[in-house]
Amino acid sequence: MKDWFDKGRFLNEVMTPKQDSQDIDGDLQKFTDKYTASLEHDYVVCITDNPMGMLSFEAMETIETTGVPVKPERLCIHLNTFHRKQDLDRMLGTMVSQGVKYLLVVSGDGNERLHRLAPEEINTSSTVVTSVDLIAYILREYPGKFVCGVAYNHYEPPHDEREKLKRKLGVGAQFIITQPVIRRHDNVDYLATAGVPVVVEAWMSKRIDLVAECVGYKLPPEDLQYDPIQNLKTLRANYPSFGNYLALLGMKKQINEIKDL
């Protein structure tokens, strides 16, 4: 992580195929192409975990199936609380054996098909397992093996979200990744005092309305013609000491447009 924030380096989101894929070979190839291109540009590959509750193939099984290389300093795997205990331990064990270091630990989005970890499964006194509990479990059961990061939703009421962040940092979180940021946000400015590395998410699709719908954010008129490249430039100017997490980056045109930023 020591060089994640060097000029021109980004964290690039890569999704695994959905389990109900209608073209699994094609989707595996898309994964391979995006993963490989990210490494060729010296980006950090960030692999999602059932995003938005959509049942998808696991990160490590997709890596194994496609044969893409594991480069520990260029790989960050998301991990949420919606897994059976035996599957969680299997995934973590595989990551350890492959040298994976960096995890973005989130509570996650579930659905009726996904099992949510029960408190007794990971020996926590919480009534519901959260990312705080999952980080505590990982660091307790796999000491010295992982560097855990956490999500930060700056669209939530500041006091509540900052208190959550304090609990996450208190159990050992070592980096922060925000939700998509449009230009600047006071609740993101606050993170300069967090004492750990911070990564701001840049939404690289023009469909900024999807973000607004997801987080309950009302778009002001100036954002209706959202320009993702310009927004990324603005984020880098406003937060020069933060990293950038690229969501839905276009791998044909956009990846070349941003290489000199």
Pairing of strands 75-79, 44-47: parallel
DSSP at 56: B
In the predicted model, residues of the chain with pLDDT beneath 50 are: none
SS3 sequence, 103-164? EEECCCCCCCCCCCCCHHHCCCCCCCCCHHHHHHHHHHHCCCCCEEEEEECCCCCHHHHHHH
Beta-bridge partner residues of 76: 46, 102
User: Taking the CB of residue 162, how many other CB atoms lie within 10 A of it?
Assistant: 17
Dig out the tokens for 52 from the structure.
């938005």
What pLDDT, on a 0 to 100 scale, did the predictor assign at position 202?
98
Dig out the tokens for 4 from the structure.
């994640």
What pLDDT, on a 0 to 100 scale, did the predictor assign at position 31?
98
Select the CATH number that applies to the domain covering 11-257 from these four: 3.40.50.300, 3.20.20.220, 3.40.50.10440, 1.20.1250.20. Answer: 3.20.20.220
How far apart CA 110 and CA 71 sit, in angstroms, is 29
Q: Is the pTM of this model over 0.85?
A: yes
What pLDDT, on a 0 to 100 scale, did the predictor assign at position 219?
80
User: Which residue pairs, CB below 8 angstroms and at least 24 apart, start in 184-189?
Assistant: 184/234, 184/235, 184/238, 184/239, 185/154, 186/158, 187/154, 187/155, 187/156, 187/158, 187/161, 187/162, 188/154, 188/239
Q: What is the helix (H) or strand (E) element at residue 31, kind and residue range?
A: helix 24-40
Structure-token match 């035996």, residue found: 86
Structure-token match 């029960």, residue found: 118
Contact 180, 154 (CB under 8 A): no
Q: In whole angstroms, how far apart are CA 13 and each of 98, 118, 131?
A: 20, 28, 20
User: Taking the CB of residue 41, how many other CB atoms lie within 10 A of it?
Assistant: 16
For residue 245, what are the contacts with CB-CB under 8 A and spacing of at least 6? 10, 11, 12, 13, 46, 177, 178, 199, 200, 201, 202
How far apart CA 200 and CA 86 sit, in angstroms, is 33
What pLDDT, on a 0 to 100 scale, did the predictor assign at position 212?
87
User: Taking the CB of residue 39, how many other CB atoms lie within 10 A of it?
Assistant: 17
Contact 71, 39 (CB under 8 A): yes
